[in-house]
Amino acid sequence: MRRQLEQIAAGGVFGRPATFQEIGAFENACGAPLPRDYVEFLRAGQFTAQIARFFDAPDADGGFDALQCFFGFGLPWSTCNLDYVRQLYAGGAPDGVIPIAGNGAGDYVCLDLRGGDTARQAPVALWRIDHFWRAGEWREQDFIPLAESFSAFVLGLRQAPRRAAGDGNAARQPPSSQRAPSHVAAPPLTFGPLLGRWSA
C-alpha cells in the first residue's frame, strides 16, 4: 500500500500516520470497523497536500471524475478531516456511509460500511450530493458504485483520464462563479456545506 500511495502522490506528500487511537475513536463513532486496507492506508501516512488523480465514474459524461483530496485526522483544513465530514452529514446520510475523499466539485468518495464483514472489505462509491443539498434528501440512486474495495479503488487511480483530452469531455468542475480567475493562482479547494467552495 505504501508504494501505491507514493505513486499517487508523485513522490509522497505525507504527514504523520494516523494513530490507532484516532482510528479506534473514528470506528466507534461510525459504529462499524473500517476495512483493513483503509486502516493500512491511514497508518502509512496521511496526505498533507492536494493530489490530482482520476477514476472511472460510470455516471459522468466522460466516464471519469477527479480525486482532489483524501481526508484524514488533524489535517490543515478542517473540511478535509474525517471527523468533521462525518459529523456534517450525521443524520442526513445513512449510518455506515463514510466520506473519505472529495472531488473538488462537492461530491464525496465514500466507504459503504452498511453490510457484510467491513473489517475485511468494504465497497467504495461516489456520492453525488447536488440533490441532497437542494432537497435535504438522501437517494440511493445518487450513490454510484466505484470499486469492490478500497484497495481496488486506489489501484484504479490514474494520472490522466482514460479518454483523450480532446474528446470534449472533462471531469466535473466547480461552478464558474466559484472558480478562481485563470490569471490567479487558485487556493486549495475544501469540502463543506457550500458546493465546491474556494477556501484559502
pLDDT tier for residue 160 given thresholds of 50, 70 and 90: confident
pTM strictly above 0.85: no
HEC string for the chain = CHHHHHHHCCCCCECCCCCHHHHHHHHHHHCCCCCHHHHHHHHHCCECCCCCEEEECCCCCCCEEEECEECECCCCCHHHEHHHHHHHHECCECCCEEEEEECCCCCEEEEECCCCCCCCCCCEEEECCHHHHHHCCCCHHHEEEEECCHHHHHHCCECCCCCCHHHCCCCCCCCHHHCCCCCCCCCCECCCCCCCCECC
Q: What pLDDT score was predicted for residue 53?
A: 84
Percent of the chain with pLDDT over 70: 72
Report the range of poorest mean pLDDT among 31-45, 129-143, 150-164. Answer: 150-164
pLDDT tier for residue 73 given thresholds of 50, 70 and 90: very high
Residue 137 above 80 pLDDT?
yes
Domains of the chain: 2-157 (3.40.1580.10)
